[in-house]
């Protein structure tokens, strides 16, 4: 059931990138145990828990981690774990007695994964912030949007999940790979600003080379070129054309029955406004479905702009099994794919914090008497 089968990960309940990282690890076969904070509602499920997809395949134990007994209970889980991931502000886990030194004292081989926006050190490390703040500081936000408008937030895909969850998972997996040779764990400091900075490597290379245009909406990858942008269709839909290479642009002209001799030098920016106007008029003359029938599957580098609810029904998504149904809820299938040890959703979403408390405590070596005592003292529950 995935390449991480046999690995156990402790996830400290949080919001943002940590839960998605836990989901990705679970989809790859890891046993993920979420430590929910007993008695605190700010992290509780605010919607129908069936739709909290980041909790799929995990189990939950609710613990009052601010008590000595609660801390000790978490450390007992840590003893048998391969990794722990947490998304608190720097210093919180240390104050709880669950920091890297505390955890490594009971499990020297533990990979301790930390995800924050600003990182564990630096003048902003203790400041509250969210996705847009992080991508703003890295320069990513400034580059996204139209020339005559403000920056446009790309949901929280670039910061929280692209620069955050992805790099946390990559760091944890790399540390586990290193541990297989050294037998020693280590701390992974995954900061969203660092991850987004790494994603911006190509941009910084162009800046260093003096070829990056600082004006928003003026760079080719940002939609400035008429052959790499979005066009509106007659039914109010949108399509994308990304005919960047000359051979793909030639194919586009052929499919649209445009005489290449009538097209001025497409690499000269002076010609971009007139060429854009020409394409706008052409694509406005047909519906989104019309252009799909004409251009989809060709080397024009074409795709329709689908609403998220439409994506699962696209023939390519269906053919690849890109979406699955679990307990009546359609959701993305595990990614990436493995040919020998394919990942899979390990189970349904967590129905409530602490849903598996007693079972997990028993598996962790707690006797029924100990569990009863912890419940009576209000240290564990649901």
Based on the fold, state whether residues 248 and 361 are members of the same structural domain. Answer: no
Q: Which residue in 22, 53, 25, 136 sits closest to 308, CA to CA?
A: 53
pLDDT greater than 60 at residue 41: no
Q: Which residue in 72, 80, 76, 60 sits closest to 96, CA to CA?
A: 72
Based on the fold, state whether residues 30 and 160 are members of the same structural domain. Answer: yes
Q: Which residue in 64, 58, 121, 62 sits closest to 97, CA to CA?
A: 64
Q: Tell me, yes or no, whether 212 lies in a domain.
A: no
Q: Tell me, yes or no, whether 113 lies in a domain.
A: yes
Q: Tell me, yes or no, whether 21 lies in a domain.
A: yes
Based on the fold, state whether residues 116 and 251 are members of the same structural domain. Answer: no
Based on the fold, state whether residues 277 and 375 are members of the same structural domain. Answer: no
Place of tokens 């000790």: 72
**What are the CA-CA distances from residue 201 to residues 81, 123, 139, 228, 315 (Å)?**
34, 23, 11, 21, 34
C-alpha–C-alpha distance, residues 320 and 333, integer Å: 10
> In this structure, what token pair is assigned to residue 283?
């694509």
Give the structural domain span for 253: 220-232+238-304
Active site residue 160: yes
Based on the fold, state whether residues 252 and 184 are members of the same structural domain. Answer: no
Q: Tell me, yes or no, whether 67 lies in a domain.
A: yes
Based on the fold, state whether residues 41 and 90 are members of the same structural domain. Answer: yes
Q: Tell me, yes or no, whether 14 lies in a domain.
A: yes
Based on the fold, state whether residues 72 and 100 are members of the same structural domain. Answer: yes
Q: What is the pLDDT of residue 46?
A: 62
Q: What is the pLDDT of the chain when averaged over all its residues?
A: 95
How many other C-beta atoms can be found within 10 angstroms of the C-beta atom of residue 91? 12
pLDDT of 222-262, one tens digit each? 999 999 999 999 999 999 999 999 999 999 999 999 999 99
Based on the fold, state whether residues 22 and 124 are members of the same structural domain. Answer: yes
pLDDT greater than 70 at residue 45: no
Based on the fold, state whether residues 184 and 263 are members of the same structural domain. Answer: no
Of 160, 194, 356, 358, the active-site residue reads 160
Q: Tell me, yes or no, whether 214 lies in a domain.
A: no
pLDDT of 308-358, one tens digit each? 999 999 999 999 999 999 999 999 999 999 999 999 999 999 999 999 999
Q: Tell me, yes or no, whether 317 lies in a domain.
A: no
CATH number, domain containing residue 254: 3.30.1540.10
Of 102, 104, 130, 142, the active-site residue reads 130
pLDDT greater than 70 at residue 171: yes
The dihedral of CA 27, 33, 37, 41: what is its sign? positive
Comparison of pLDDT for 78 and 40, the residue scoring more: 78
Q: What is the pLDDT of residue 382?
A: 83
How many other C-beta atoms can be found within 10 angstroms of the C-beta atom of residue 184? 13
Q: Tell me, yes or no, whether 208 lies in a domain.
A: no
Based on the fold, state whether residues 260 and 356 are members of the same structural domain. Answer: no
Domain boundary among 271, 304, 337: 304
The pLDDT of 53-62, averaged and rounded, is 97
CATH number, domain containing residue 86: 3.40.50.10540
Q: Which residues pair with 227 in a beta bridge?
A: none
Active site residue 130: yes
Q: What is the pLDDT of residue 40?
A: 58
Domain count, the chain: 2
C-alpha–C-alpha distance, residues 379 and 168, integer Å: 30
Based on the fold, state whether residues 161 and 246 are members of the same structural domain. Answer: no
């Amino acid at each position: 059931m995935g390449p991480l089968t046999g690995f156990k990960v402790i996830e400290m309940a949080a919001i943002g990138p940590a839960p998605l990282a836990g989901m990705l690890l679970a989809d790859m076969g890891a046993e993920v145990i979420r430590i929910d904070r007993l008695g605190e509602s700010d992290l509780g499920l605010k919607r129908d828990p069936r739709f909290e997809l980041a909790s799929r395949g995990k189990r939950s134990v609710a613990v009052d981690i601010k008590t000595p007994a609660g801390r000790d209970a978490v450390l007992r889980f840590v003893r048998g774990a391969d990794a722990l991931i947490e998304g608190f502000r720097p210093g919180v886990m240390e104050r709880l007695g669950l920091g890297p030194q505390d955890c490594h004292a009971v499990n020297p081989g533990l990979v301790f994964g930390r995800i924050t926006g600003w990182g564990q050190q630096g003048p902003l490390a203790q400041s509250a912030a969210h996705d847009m703040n992080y991508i703003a500081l890295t320069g990513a936000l400034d580059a996204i949007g139209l020339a005559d408008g403000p920056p446009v937030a790309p949901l929280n895909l670039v910061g929280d999940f692209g620069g955050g969850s992805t790099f946390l998972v990559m760091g944890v997996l790399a540390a586990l790979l290193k541990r297989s040779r050294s037998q020693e764990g280590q701390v992974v400091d995954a900061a969203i600003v660092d991850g987004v900075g790494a994603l911006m490597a190509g941009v910084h290379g162009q800046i260093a080379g003096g070829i990056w245009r600082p004006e928003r909406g003026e760079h080719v990858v940002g939609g400035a070129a008429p052959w790499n942008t979005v066009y509106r269709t007659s039914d109010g839909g949108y399509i994308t054309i990304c005919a960047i290479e000359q051979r793909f642009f030639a194919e586009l002209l052929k499919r649209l029955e445009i005489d290449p001799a009538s097209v001025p030098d497409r690499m000269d920016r002076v010609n971009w406004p007139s060429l854009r106007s020409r394409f706008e008029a052409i694509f406005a003359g047909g519906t989104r479905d019309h252009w799909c029938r004409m251009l989809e599957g060709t080397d024009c580098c074409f795709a329709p702009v689908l609403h998220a609810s439409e994506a699962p029904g696209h023939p390519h998504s269906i053919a690849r099994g890109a979406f699955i149904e679990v307990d009546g809820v359609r959701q993305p299938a595990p990614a990436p794919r493995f040919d020998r040890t394919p990942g899979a959703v390990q189970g349904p979403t967590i129905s409530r914090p602490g849903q598996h408390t007693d079972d997990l405590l028993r598996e962790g070596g707690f006797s029924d008497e100990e569990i009863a005592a912890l419940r009576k003292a209000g240290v564990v529950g649901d």
